[in-house]
A = this chain, B = another copy of it.
Amino acid sequence: IHEFESFLSTSLHSISLDIETLQSQIEELSTFSDTPAPSVTRILYSENDVLARRYVKNLMGLSGLSVREDAVGNIFGRWDGYEPELEAVATGSHIDAIPYAGKYDGVVGVLGAIEAINVLRRSGFKPKRSLEVILFTSEEPTRFGIGCLGSRLMAGSEQLANSLKETVDSQNMSFFDAARSAGYAKDNEDLSTVFLKKGSYSAFVELHIEQGPILEEEGVSIGIVTAIAAPASMEVEFEGNGGHAGAVLMPYRNDAGLGAAELALAVEKYVLESGSIDTVGTVGILELHPGAINSIPSKSHLKIDTRDIDEKRRNTVVEKIHQSAVTIAKNRRLSLTEFKIINQDPPALSDKSIIRAMEIATQELNLTHKSMISRAYHDSLFMARISPMGMIFIPCYKGYSHKPEEYASSGDIANGVKVLALTLAKLSQD
């Protein structure tokens, strides 16, 4: 087996990886978008999401994988190993894209995984453990407010399975109506069929762009993720009396928009107060009602994201934000009509033996690598609850992500797919 891997790593250096085809698949997938190129917007269960899923399933089929989908649309493409009763080795990522995002986030880890399978097949490799490529449903929280919806359910979140029964999107469409419109959740609203038992996979590895500037700046080819930062998100709503922007004098106002502005600046303040470079916080959504130039905002709605590699420090920021929202409401005579913690997840650590396999793969491929933290969360954060987990990062242009300028070079993508292929080959023989 070690001999075969040497052969494989030699072959990976040369011709067997078809980067041109992979590149054109990435381009093709980016055309399934609700906004014009170069931006990509692909929202869960939308028409473009359904078309993109069909495209991926076809590629899986062409690569000889047997395809299965679960009730929420997690898609599994399986290559049976010669000991198919062993737990499989899995890899995968997502293809949904937030409004005005780019082509590479998630996509590299799905289309790249299918190409890694192609590489292994072309090389004559036969896996002992089965290999599975997973396309996760809704890694992005865009439509229903919850990130990693598919992997969170796979990891057995009863809480999410229950709350989805009441969940609606901004157009008031229920989660299940949306899922059914895309061909999922047809028979009933029981999502326990999506849950996977702990130990269902012997390993899970995700290939992803770094979404940060470090690898590019330092000229390193591969990042080996040792931990994923702990994300939390909150939803806040203030209500005041509103009124006419000309007629209501300043002392009589309780402006819900100014409450939101204060809270947004408070988030920044508390994050900076943590004293650690690893603490971040963002107000990405701030909406005013009724939203007219001559109307005092009577309602404001914020969504706040904060993350840290240190869970306790992150929780302190969440608590300060909560206290601040209460104080702002009191001082401005507003009602704090909502302060909801959407999620408050612990960090995840990569599995030592998977880290080791990834390191050896980079060495055999003569690629530079460095250990790093993932500050963005990924489906790997939740797969870590049911499987040993590892992540492979590749450089991306200026660290840009979640915007149209997001870019990873062919060479870097090829390196990532090679490391993934070799890592999967190693893990499948364990």
**Are B258 and A264 interface neighbours, CB within 8 A?**
yes
Instruction: Choose the segment among A128-136, A157-165, A185-193, A288-296 that binds chain B (4+ C-beta atoms closer than 8 Å).
Output: A288-296
B244 pairs with A376, CB closer than 8 A: yes
Question: Is A286 in contact with B284, judged by CB distance below 8 angstroms?
Answer: no
Does A152 belong to the interface (CB within 8 Å)? no
Asked if A320 CB lies within 8 Å of chain B CBs, one says no
- Check if B99 sits within 8 Å of A293, measured CB to CB: no
Least Cβ distance of A95 to chain B in Å? Answer: 16
Tallying the copies of this chain within the complex gives: 2
Give residues of chain A (93-122) contacting chain B, Cβ–Cβ below 8 Å: 98-101
Residues of A within 8 A of B (CB): 98-101, 140-142, 145, 147, 210-213, 229, 231, 233, 241-252, 255, 257-258, 260-262, 264-265, 268, 271-272, 277-298, 303-305, 307, 375-377, 399-403
* Beyond known contacts A248-B280, A250-B271: 10 more, CB 8 A cutoff: A100-B289, A241-B400, A243-B403, A257-B284, A261-B262, A265-B265, A282-B293, A282-B295, A283-B297, A286-B286
Please tell me if the beta carbons of B246 and A295 are within 8 angstroms of each other in the complex. Answer: no
Q: How far is the CB of A233 from chain B (nearest CB, A)?
A: 6
A257/B264 in contact, CB under 8 A: yes
Name the B residues within 8 Å of A295 (CB-CB).
98-99, 101, 282, 284, 402-403
State in angstroms the CA–CA spacing of A291 and B286 once bound together. Answer: 8
Contact A250 B229, CB 8 Å, known A245-B284, A284-B296, A402-B295 = no
